[in-house]
Amino acid sequence: MAALCGPWDSYWVKSSESGLEASTSPQQHNTTSEEGMEIDCQPEESIVSSFDEDCVVLGDVKDMRLEAEAVVNDVLFAVSEMHVSQSLNSASDVAYINVETREGNRYCLELTEAGLRVVGYAFDQVNEDLSTQYHETVYSLLDTLSPGYREAFGNALLQRLERLKQNGQ
pLDDT of residue 90: 85
Residue 73 CB neighbours (<10 A): 14
- Of 90, 91, 133, the C-alpha closest to 115 is 133
- Of 53, 47, 111, the C-alpha closest to 83 is 111
pLDDT of residue 5: 39
Q: Which residues of the chain have pLDDT under 70?
A: 1-62, 169
- The CA distance from 12 to 106, in Å, is 28
pLDDT, tens only, 92-108: 899 999 999 999 999 99
Q: Are 94 and 111 in contact (CB under 8 A)?
A: yes
pLDDT of residue 49: 40
Q: Is 156 helix (H, G, I), strand (E, B) or coil?
A: helix
Q: Is the dihedral of CA 117, 79, 53, 27 positive or negative?
A: positive
Per-residue buried b or exposed e for 138-169, using 16+ beta carbons within 10 Å of the residue's own CB? bbbbbbebbebbbebbbebbeebbeebeeeee
Q: Are 96 and 127 in contact (CB under 8 A)?
A: no
Angle between helices 147-166 and 138-145 (to 10 degrees): 120
pTM, entire model = 0.63
The structural domains of the chain, ordered by start, are 2-49+150-166 (no CATH), 57-145 (3.30.2280.10)
* Burial class of residue 4 in the structure, from the number of CB atoms within 10 Å of its CB (0-12 exposed, 13-18 middle, 19+ buried): buried
pLDDT of residue 39: 37
